[in-house]
Amino acid sequence: MLLLLAGLIAGPYLSGKQGYVRIETTNHIIEMSLTTLVIFFVISLAVVYSIEAAISRFCNLSNNTYSWFSRRKRVKAQKQTLEGLMRMDEGDYSKAEKLIGKNAKHSDEPVLNFIKAAEAAQQRGDEFSANRYLIQATEIAGTDSLILEIARTRILLQQNKLPAARSSVDSLLIMASRNKEVLKLAVDIYLKSKAYQALDNILEQVENPVCIPPKSLKITTPGGRWPVR
């Protein structure tokens, strides 16, 4: 390419014939030698390439800066999430909720952050915040996430919303009928809501029926004593 341009420039000089270019518009007439046109063309290309290189460099710098800030936020989110989980184990639910909840958007697993924040809020007795975190988790995970639906059902039980908890655990049993945590929740909810027939239907799937409190087995139903297998 460079040799070709050099030939176009030097050729006319060497031959003594530079050529002639005339550009005519409605209001203007531009006249120049062929050599001048080639030089102008080369300079224009150089300017275009320089601008392109500058823009590419700026974009790369912006991307690198954005990546650096994003990576920094993720590292900070992981650190504060772990601290929040430790505070939760210590019983400091207010601090745990703050640390876990505010870092959810930058966490590697934001759904888990929202779930843990909801559990911490519920432990404080703040049902509104707990439900808000669950809604945010649902917006990310959808309604088919087993871990989210288990957390939602557990919180409904803690809120003593037995009809909603019963409906939720019924759906969970369809989704994962042999999941140990689902079965444990089902036993607790069916006992509290006195749904003895439903409880009887899942006893065969419960690996350890001994976990059911003995006094609960003595509760009588209108048809007599609840049959225990």
Query: Does any domain span residue 148?
Result: yes
Nearest residue to 18 via CA among 6, 30, 9: 9
Residue 74 covered by a domain: no
Task: Give the model confidence (pLDDT) of 77-89 as tens digits.
Answer: 888 888 888 988 8
225 falls within a domain = no
Does 182 reside within a domain? yes
Neighbours of 222 (CB within 10 A): 4
Domains identified in the chain, total number: 1
Q: How far apart, in whole angstroms, are the C-alpha atoms of residue 187 and residue 181? A: 10
Average the pLDDT over 213-222 and give the result: 49
The b-or-e profile of 3-25 (16+ CB within 10 A means b, else e) is eeeeebbeebeeeeeeeeeeeee
Enclosing domain of residue 156: 143-208
- Residue 51 confidence (pLDDT): 87
Percent of the chain with pLDDT over 70: 75
In a domain, 165, yes or no: yes
Residue 13 lies in a domain: no
* Mean pLDDT, residues 94-112 taken together: 87
Residue 224 clears pLDDT 50, i.e. is over it: no
Element (H, E) at 22: strand 21-24
pLDDT score for 227: 46
| CA distance linking residue 85 with residue 99, whole number of Å | 9
User: Considering the domain boundaries, does residue 204 fall inside one?
Assistant: yes
Is residue 196 domain-resident? yes
The number of CA neighbours under 13 Å toward the Cβ of 175 is: 18
Strand partners, 211: none
Beta bridge partners of 47: none
pLDDT 10s digits, 157-181:
999 999 999 999 999 999 888 899 9
